[in-house]
Amino acid sequence: MGLNKQGTSYKSFGYLEPGNDYNAFEMCDQIERVAHDLIVLNSEEDQRVKRLIADNIIISMHEHLGVFPKDIMETPAYCKEGRMTTAFEGLANSGWDAVFDNLMDGIAQIHSKSGWKWDDVLTDLGHRLCDIAHQDFIIHCKNVNDIRTAHKEGKMAWIAAMEGAAMIENEVDRIDLLYGFGVRLLGITYSESNALGSGLKEPRDGGLTMFGRKAVERMNKVGMLIDCSHTGDQTALDTIEWSSKPIVLSHIGAKALWESNRLAPDDVIKACADKGGVIGMEAAPHTTLTYNNRVHTIETVMEHFEYCKDLVGIDHVSFGPDTLYGDHVGLHHAYSAALSLKESKASNPGQEFNEVEYVKGLENPTEGSFNLVRWLVKHNYSDEDIIKVMGGNTLRVLEEVWY
């Protein structure tokens, strides 16, 4: 029911007084920050897209649903407040029925300069949950039935996720606490190593630690979906082997198409699929580039999609665009160190690329929800396959992992 959302007039933190209860910032436009680049279809194809989105559950495996300041360089001060605006307007105009929202993540520098601290992530999560509790459009999703309810009622299921587990430190019980607070996906690492294993930025990958094994076992027991999008390759392989449940690579691409620490080699992609997991295609600026096309657009993202689909099959691929509402490229410039971008991106000779202002066709979660389906229709994918990659594959994994 992505095209028939009931919508909402609610504005984030509408129960508070801006300037008195919190410092307010001028936010970017959730709908028209840049011109839309919808893929052109004929009338028959356009009707098919509308039917597919309306009749089927559409899930994004990875986004950031916060709205950023119009002046992106105000973001550090904005995040320091701990209250990030949720894009209720943008989401009400999207096709998504369910979205994994990864909150502030590495830019949650509320109480510390480095972020990823227990107090930082809980402050971020708590403010978001308080905001969501005051509206009736978004459902805080805790199980698969909540996704089905959102689809049926014209609402959206909001799934709390965290890309890395640094904040649990050496306390395995904190996984239970995060689950109790409503988090349903946890990454093993976010680029930097932690007590569980090695991040993708490290010069050597020591694999999953003994504590990491305990953490994986606990996530399996409580029903937490595991993500290895930002781990080192050996840590990812160890996690897949040690987990009794499928895991996901929620936002990634194929290293065979572009040499980058942020992308996965074939053996990791295959291992994830062999365990029953799903690989979601990444679209954050300047990640899923290819040697064929060094200008990042939806076309380069779909090169990665088709490569992974051919490698592991249609049942194991989906989309985790990793988009947001604001100047994503500017955000990367402002937080290059906190997001480990230098270490994540390729810097090999011959891999120069053209920086873009935004990824054409996948600038924000609203645009992406429609354009991905439009691209698949334009390229003659069957209804069955579109339903799988736009949500069905993810739903299958959630039914096995969640309780």
pLDDT tens digits, one per residue of 115-128 = 899 999 999 999 99
pLDDT(85) > 90: yes
Percent of the chain with pLDDT over 70: 96
Residue 35: inside a domain: no
As for how many domains the chain has, the answer is: 1
pLDDT tens digits, one per residue of 232-259 = 999 999 999 999 999 999 999 999 999 9
**CA 191 – CA 114 distance, rounded (Å):** 13
Q: Which amino acid is at 239?
A: T
pLDDT tens digits, one per residue of 185-221 = 999 999 899 999 999 999 999 999 999 999 999 999 9
Query: Structure tokens of 32?
Result: 């028209």
pLDDT tens digits, one per residue of 45-62 = 999 999 999 999 999 999
* Pairing assessment for the beta strands 59-63 and 138-140 based on DSSP bridges: unpaired
pLDDT band of residue 284 (cuts 50, 70, 90) is: very high
Residue 178: inside a domain: yes
Query: Structure tokens of 77?
Result: 């001060």
Residue 268: inside a domain: yes
**CA 143 – CA 399 distance, rounded (Å):** 9
Q: Are 330 and 73 in contact (CB under 8 A)?
A: yes
pTM: 0.96
Gyration radius of the chain over CA positions: 19
pLDDT band of residue 65 (cuts 50, 70, 90) is: very high
Residue 156: inside a domain: yes
Nearest residue to 96 via CA among 385, 308, 372: 372
Domain of 92, in residue numbers? 58-401
Residue 110: inside a domain: yes
pLDDT(180) > 70: yes
Q: Are 91 and 156 in contact (CB under 8 A)?
A: yes
Mean pLDDT, the chain, integer:
95
pLDDT(312) > 60: yes
* Pairing assessment for the beta strands 156-162 and 138-140 based on DSSP bridges: parallel
Compute the average pLDDT of residues 95-99.
98
* Amino acid 349: pLDDT: 60
pLDDT tens digits, one per residue of 352-395 = 888 999 999 999 999 999 999 999 999 999 999 999 999 999 99
Q: Which residues pair with 86 in a beta bridge?
A: 66
CATH number at residue 124: 3.20.20.140
DSSP string, 296-357: -BHHHHHHHHHHHHHHH-GGGEEE-----BS-HHHHHHHTTTTTTHHHHS---TT---B--S
Q: Which residues pair with 190 in a beta bridge?
A: 192
**CA 126 – CA 190 distance, rounded (Å):** 21
Compute the average pLDDT of residues 296-323.
98
The gap between the terminal CA atoms of the chain, to the nearest Å, is 24
Residue 384: inside a domain: yes
- Name the more confident of 348 and 158: 158
* CB-count burial class (<10 Å; 0-12, 13-18, 19+) for 128: buried
| Residue 240, C-beta contacts closer than 8 angstroms, at least 6 positions apart | 228, 247, 268, 271, 272, 275, 277
